[in-house]
Amino acid sequence: MTRSEEQWRSVILGGTSNGNRLSGSVYKSDKFWVAKLPALEVMTQGRSKDEAYAMVKDMLETLVNLPGFSVRVNPDEQGGFEVTSEGSSQREPSWNRPGASSGATASAEDSA
């Protein structure tokens, strides 16, 4: 089952608003760098680490789809990264897990 735009907003904004962060990991897999965000059960990839980080940024901003919302991907030195929001949103943060209120669930394949 696929998440609705509203569910994506709730989960992503809940993890990136008011100082909260989403954590992820990045690793090399064959020709591509894979970036995973376990809290959202999503992944993306790029030809370089920088491209993978750019894809994470684009993916989250596209999923939220709110004017003024943007994220920053902050790599660490252990192969991980944190995502923080840079824009203001008119939504309050929510720590609801995907599908917690609606019974809907999604996997990384659903979001591709």
Predicted confidence (pLDDT) per residue in 21-45, tens digit? 789 999 999 999 999 999 888 999 9
Give the pTM.
0.69
d(CA 70, CA 103) in angstroms, rounded, equals 28
Section 74-85 average pLDDT: 89
| pLDDT in the model for residue 74 | 92
Lowest mean pLDDT among 6-15, 39-48, 68-77, 86-95: 86-95
| Structural domains in the chain plus CATH codes | 5-82 (3.30.160.250)
d(CA 45, CA 65) in angstroms, rounded, equals 20
Angle, alpha carbons 98-103-107 (nearest 5°): 45
52 vs 1: which has the higher pLDDT: 52
Which one of 9-13, 71-75, 91-95 scores highest in mean pLDDT?
71-75
Q: Which single residue is written with the structure tokens 């008119």?
A: 90
By the 8 A CB rule, do 108 and 43 touch?
Answer: yes
For the chain, percent of residues with pLDDT exceeding 70: 63
Q: Which single residue is written with the structure tokens 């660490």?
A: 76
Q: Which of 112, 18, 37, 44 is nearest to 80 (CA)?
A: 37
Tokens of 3: 């998440």
| pLDDT in the model for residue 40 | 86
